[in-house]
Chain A
Amino acid sequence: MLAMESKRGFLRFASGVRGLREFGIIVFILVLSVLIGIRNPRFLTWGNIHDMLVDTAALLVVAVGMMLVLVTGGIDLSAESVLALTGMVTGIIIKDHPYLSPLLMLVFGLCFGGLLGSITGLVVSRGRVLPIIATLSMMYIYRGITFIVSKGEWIDAHEMPESFKALATGRVLGFSNLIVIALVVYVVFYYFTAHTRTGREIYAVGSNLEAARIIGINTAFITWLVYMISGALSGLGGVMWVARYASAQNDTAAGFVLTVVAACVLGGVSISGGAGTIPGVLLGSITIGIINNALPMIRVSPFWKMALQGIIILVAALVNVAVARNIERTQLRKREELRMVRYGA
C-alpha cells in the first residue's frame, strides 16, 4: 500500500496540498477570483491585483497581531483604536516636523503602538481582566484620546510632506512599499511562530493554560507579549493607513476590528485559542481584500453589495469547515489503514 503510493509522486504531492488546512480557502479564493473575473475582466489584471494588495496591506499587518492574541484564546478589540490613535499622532508629528524620515515614522508607529498594546497587555495579564472587556475598554479609551490629541481636527493631505505620502505611492522592485512592509512582517512572524521557543509557547498557552504553566512557561509574560505585539502591528498599520489615504481622521478604521477578526477566522484561526497559522491569516486577509476590491467592480446595486459581502464571507467559512472536516476524516482513515497494515486487522 505504502510502496504503491511512493511510486506516484505527483499524486502524493496533490494529496499533500489537499492535506493542508488552508486548502479550502485556496480553492475558494481561486473560484471567487474566476467568477469576478468573468463579471469584470479587469479584476484579473496585474494592476488591479497590485491595487488590491496595497489596499489590504494594513489589514494583513494588523491581522498577524490579532492572530497571536486569538491563539492565546483572547481577542484584541482595541486594535482599530490603536491604529487610529497611532495614525493621528503620526499625522500630527509629521505635520509639525515634515523633515522627519518616513522610515522613522514606521519605527515610531511600531513603538508607539507597542506601548499602547503593552498597557492593554498589562491589564489582561496582571489585572486578570477578561480580554474582551479589557480590550473593549481600551478601544474606547484610545479612540477618546484620538479625539483629544487631534482636538477634533483632521490632518489633511496638504499638511503632509511628499516624502511621507510617498511611503504609500513609492515602489520597490515594482511592488508598493506597503506590500513590501507586509511581506517583511509575514516573514518575520512566520519564523517567530514556527521556529522560535517563545513563538511555540504562545500556542502552548492557548491550547492549555494550566499545562503550559506547569511545564514552566511564563504564561503572564506570553499573554502580555501577544497584546504588545498586536499593539505594535496595529500602530504600524496606522502609519501605513494614514500614508495610504493621505488623511488622519478621528474615526479612522472605525469598525475595522471586525474585519480583522473575520480575516483571521477565515484563515483558520480558532477563536477559542490554540490554533492558527501565519499562511492561514495571509489567505484569510487576502480573501477579505478580494471582497472589498471586487464589490465596487461588479456593477451590482449598492444595496446588494452589503448582503453579498456577508454571503461571500459565509460561503468561505462553510467551504473552510467542510474541507477541514474532509481532511480530518481522510487522515483518520489513513491512520486506520496504516494501523491495519502494521498490526493486521
Chain B
Amino acid sequence: MRKVLLVLCLVVLVSLALVSGVWAKGYTIGMLVKNVGNPFFEACARGGQEACEELGNNFIFQGPATPTVEGQIEIIENFIAQKVDAICVSANDFDALVPVLKKAMASGIKVISFDSAVNPEGRLVHVNQADAEQIGKLQVQAIAEMIGYEGEIAILSAAATMTNQNTWIRYMQEELKDPKYAKMRLAAIVYGDDLRDKSYNEAMGLFKSYPNLKGIISPTTVGVSAAAKAITDAGLIGKVKLTGLGLPSEMAEWVKNGACEAFFLWNPVDLGYLAAYVAGLLCEGTITGKEGETFKAGRLGEYTIRKSGDGGTEVLLGPPFRFDATNIDEWKDVF
C-alpha cells in the first residue's frame, strides 16, 4: 500500500513538473494579473503567450480569484520559490507589493509592472497601456461632446485604492479646469469596486442623488457595462450619456441600444504581448530598463524607454482606441 502511494506521489510530482514546464529551455516569465477570469486579462495572457513563443520562453499566467493585494503577494512568493526568471505584474496596490517584489529582485528575478503600476522601487520598468494624461483627457473630451459641454457629470470608478484609476481621475479633474468646460460640473466620484452588483447600485444611486445628471465616465470595464445596464433599466438612454474604458464584447449590447455612444480601450492582447516581450529582453540582458534605451518589440515595432510620471521609467504602448457603433461589430468577438 505504501509503495503504491509513493509511486503515485512520484507520478503526480513528475507530471506537475512537466506541466509547469520548469525543465523546458528558455526563460520562464510569470504574468501576475489583478484577478483571473477577467476577459481583459485573459486577452493580455494571449498576447503574453504569443510573445513568449516568439522568443522561445515559457509563460506562466496567474492571478488571485478576487482582486486583492494578499492574493498577489502569495503568488509572488510562489514565483520566487519556483525560481521564475521574470515577473510581469498588474498591481492591485501601488505600494503594498513593493517588499515582496524587492525580495524577488534580490533573488535575481526581473520584475516589471504593466497595466497598473507598482512603485518604481519595486520594478525595473513599467509597461504603460497608454499615457495616463491622454486617457483622462480623452474621456472628458468624449463626455463633453456627448452632453454639449453643459451639465453635471459623475465618475464611477473601481476601488478607491487602485493606482491607475486614481491617476486617470486626477487628469480628468485637471482637464475639467479648462475654461471650455466651465458649464460642466463634476458632481460625484463613486466606487463600485469592480463588482457588478455594487457598480450597478452606485450608478442607480447617482441617478437618484443627482436628478440633473447628464453624463457618467466609468474608467473600468465592469463599471462601464454595469452603468450601461443601469441606464437602460432606468429608462435614461439618451438622457444620461456614458463613456469610459470598456471591453467591446461586454459593451456591444449597450453601444447598439444607445446607452453608450463611444468608449475607449487599448488592445489588451498587444499590452500583454509588449509586457512579456520587455520581460524577455530584460532576461536576455538586451535592455536594463534605463531611460533612453530603445528596442524592437516583435510585431509592434520600435519602442523607447522614457521617464514616467511616478519617478521611474516606462514604455508606452500607444494611444487608446475608440470603439463606437461603426466598429463594435468587428471587435466584439475579438475580446
Task: Give the B-binding residues of A (Cβ under 8 A).
Answer: 40, 42-43, 48, 51, 55, 143, 147, 150, 152-154, 156-158, 169, 241, 245-247, 249-255, 292-293, 295-299, 302-303
Contact = CB atoms under 8 A, between A and B. Distances in A.
Q: Which secondary structure dominates where chain B touches chain A?
A: helix
A250 B194 CA distance: 13
Given A297-B208, A302-B160, A302-B191, A247 B250 contact: yes
Contacts of A245: 196-197, 200, 226, 229
Interface string B84-127: 00000000000000000000000000000000000000000000
Contact of A246 (B37, B42, B209, B229): B229
A163 B188 CA distance: 35
Contacts of A42: 208-209, 211
B160 A249 contact: no
A55, A249, A251 — which one has the most chain B CB atoms within 10 A of its CB? A251
Interface residues of B, number: 36
B36 A296 contact: no
Contacts of B233: 169
B225 A48 contact: no
Contact of A302 (B66, B190, B254): B190
Contacts of A158: 249, 252-253, 256, 332
B37 A250 contact: yes
Given A55-B200, A246-B229, A296-B205, 15 more contacts: A42-B209, A43-B208, A51-B204, A147-B37, A152-B37, A152-B39, A156-B225, A156-B253, A157-B225, A157-B229, A157-B252, A158-B252, A251-B37, A296-B202, A299-B188
Interface of B: 35-39, 42, 65-66, 160, 188-191, 195-197, 200-202, 204-206, 208-209, 211, 225-226, 229, 233, 249-250, 252-254, 256, 332
13 contacts: A143-B65, A147-B36, A152-B39, A157-B229, A158-B249, A169-B233, A293-B204, A295-B201, A296-B201, A296-B206, A297-B209, A299-B209, A302-B190
A298 B209 CA distance: 7
A254 B229 CA distance: 20
